[in-house]
Amino acid sequence: MRRGLRFVPPALLLLAVLELTVFILVGRAVGFGAAVLLVFAASLLGLVLLRREGMRAWRGFRAAVESRQPPGQQVTDGLVGLVGALLLALPGLVSGVVGLLLLVPPLRRLARGGAQRAAERRVSSVVAGDLFGPRRVRVRRDAPPSGAGSPAPAAGEPGGAVPGVVPPVEPGRAIEGEIIEPGRS
């Protein structure tokens, strides 16, 4: 079993207890019937948004593929929207609020960025480049290490010059490039 999966059952139990506690507190504040109606309305809204977000994600993916653009941003944006709508569709007030927050555009962009970074960490650089397009990498020329008297490494060695890559003209200026993992071609 993967290391992170062992926390799923306790987390689900904790989420169920939290949902029940919040439902009881809201039920005491506004009445049991109003709390049930609120959960039902949120779930109904989530089901409607689930279909809309699914269609929106599919159209965004198809448009990216047809225009020969990397589909990663559309996929992650659609995934965040689908997760938000799914959480809203699940019966529960806490999951509904989290789902609704994931559908708010500024928070959705934040969640999309997090999902994209997580996907980039889990796949190779080549796949990440195909999914999300070329990435910008900031290259800075640092002060030489303490052993500055040693000869410069040859091309292909760690720290050596890479053929075809032009060093930045201005220190700290961003340049476009390709990330190549060692041992892959």
pLDDT digits (tens, 9 = 90+) for 12-37: 899 999 999 999 999 999 999 999 99
DSSP SS3 for 157: coil
Domain span at residue 128 reads 40-136
Report if residue 83 sits inside a domain: yes
Q: Which residue has the higher pLDDT, 170 or 122?
A: 122
Report if residue 109 sits inside a domain: yes
Taking the C-alpha atoms of residue 107 and residue 101, their distance in angstroms, rounded to an integer, is: 7
Domain count, the chain: 1
- pLDDT surpassing 60 at residue 169: no
Report if residue 119 sits inside a domain: yes
* Residue 155 confidence class, pLDDT cut points 50, 70, 90: very low
Report if residue 25 sits inside a domain: no
Give buried/exposed letters for 93-123 (b at 16+ CB in 10 A, else e).
Answer: bbbbeebbebbeeeebeebbeebbeebbeee
